[in-house]
Amino acid sequence: MKTVSRRNFLAASAGLGVAAITGCVAPLQNPPLDPRIYVADNLRGQVVVTDVRLAPGNSDHLTFQATLQNITRSVLPVKYRVIWVDKEGVEVETALSTWQLVSIMPKDITTLRAVSPRPDVTNFRCYIQWGRS
Amino acid sequence: MKKQMILLAAAASLCVAGGCRTTTQNIDRVNDQAGAIAGFDYRDINRSICEAVGNMLASGRMQRNDGGRWVVNVMPVKDDTSNMARDTGALSEAIHTSLREELTNSGKCVIFNPSVARFAQTAVVPQFALIGTINSRSLFLDNRDRQIEYNLNLSLVETATGLEVWQKRIFIGKRADRHAIY
């Protein structure tokens, strides 16, 4: 009995040692997605959206900025569109809500940007899709 | 075998006579799934206006401390593109109108209309003039495909001093077949 528990103890400590050396690291978790950002199913698991900001900058027009990382090993063509909404939640119709195209190199990070068309705009919705055009 | 050949020929002739045409569709201008074209289409106009007006508004150059609006004379956009489709007036007009629309809606400026201003009872002098040109260059790649480079150049000039307070060059490039019409 005593021998078995000693063997168990040795096995457990060996396991712990191996885990410490080879990297018993928690799997990479995507940060919780901002609910105002909608990533299409055809991009799920391929991009990570981090650092979403909305600030007035030099003017009273809000500037939206988000960081998008390509976590795949291939070039990703991505298009995004920011829809602006006023304080009542009504969508503002504007040419500033046009689909914008970006290509992200493997493992690279890019910044998505948009500027609100009117000063009374208070919020946004951002749609990100796989897209080539 | 002979019957099959006759059927196949009949099907082919029917296809040629009546069927194999592209059906007319309305463009969904928000989610247009069609591929890019060599010319400067409405999507390119929207993209360039989005970039230009967004940059101008974010720069703070149109900001006025008293909350008022500037009077801006948006000059007609000069079209220097080598437009093979020969609708040069339409491109210039579309960019000009979109610029005026977005700037008016921004709440930062009022657009000066020179054609009506001469009949006005109160003289208003625009504080700014927005000057724009669009040009294109066509280059050949090594494989003889065509590369078309469009540049929309915009500058905001203070009319009292002639000083440029904001400039932006928007580049939109295309690669297409050498026979593409643009």
Q: CA A79 to CA B88: how far, in whole Å?
A: 29
A113 belongs to a structural domain: yes
User: What is the pLDDT at residue A17?
Assistant: 53
- CB of B49 within 8 Å of any CB in chain A? yes
CATH number of B38-176: 3.40.50
Mean pLDDT taken over chain A: 83
Question: pLDDT tens digits for chain B (182 residues)?
Answer: 666 666 666 666 655 555 678 899 999 988 888 888 998 999 999 999 999 999 999 999 988 888 889 999 999 999 988 866 666 688 899 999 999 999 999 999 999 998 898 888 888 999 999 999 999 999 999 999 999 999 999 999 999 999 999 999 999 999 999 888 77
A52 within a domain of the structure (yes/no): yes
**Is the CB of residue B94 less than 8 Å away from at least one CB of chain A?**
no
In this complex, the residue of A63, A118, A133 whose CB is nearest that of residue B58 is A63
- Virtual CA dihedral for B98, B115, B71, B155, nearest 10 degrees? 50
Query: Rounded CA gap, A122 and A128, in Å?
Result: 20
Chain B CB contacts of A60 below 8 Å: 63
* B62–A133 C-beta distance less than 8 A: no
**Contact in structure between B109 and B103 (CB atoms under 8 Å):** yes
* AA letter at B131: I
Question: Considering the domain boundaries, does residue A64 fall inside one?
Answer: yes
Q: Which residue of B has its CA nearest to A81?
A: B30
- Looking at residue B160, the DSSP 8-state letter turns out to be T
**Cβ pair B102:A61 closer than 8 A:** no
> What distance in Å separates the CA atoms of residue A126 and residue B6, rounded to the nearest whole number?
56
pLDDT for the residue B52 = 95
**Domain presence at residue A18:** no
Please indicate, yes or no, if residue A12 is contained in any of the structural domains: no
Q: Domain coordinates of chain B in residue numbers? A: 38-176
**Which helix or strand (DSSP H or E) is residue B131 part of?**
strand B128-140
Q: Indicate the residue of B34, B50, B62 with minimum beta-carbon distance to A96.
A: B50
How far apart are alpha carbons B175 and B182 in whole angstroms?
11
Range of the domain at A38: 28-130
Give CA–CA dist B30/A78, Å, rounded. Answer: 16
Q: What are the structure tokens assigned to B59, written together? A: 């720069």
CA-based nearest distance A114→chain B, Å: 7
Amino acid A1: pLDDT: 45
Is the Cα torsion angle A57, A55, B71, B49 positive or negative in sign? positive
CB B46 within 8 A of CB A95: yes
Q: Where are the alpha helices (DSSP H) in A1-133?
A: 2-22
Indicate the residue type of A1.
M
Residue A31 pLDDT grade (very low, low, confident, very high; cuts 50, 70, 90): low
| Separation between Cα atoms, residue B121 and residue B130, nearest integer Å | 24
Task: Count up the domains in chain A and report the number.
Answer: 1
How close does chain B come to A34, measured CA to CA in Å? 23
Residue in the structure block whose two tokens are 């703070």 = B60
pLDDT reported for residue B22: 85
Q: What is the CATH number of the domain that holds A40?
A: 2.60.40.3230
**Of A60, A96, A111, which to mutate for an interface test with B (greatest number of B Cβ within 10 Å)?**
A96
pLDDT band at A62 (very low <50, low <70, confident <90, very high): very high
Q: Residue A33's pLDDT band (boundaries 50, 70, 90)?
A: confident
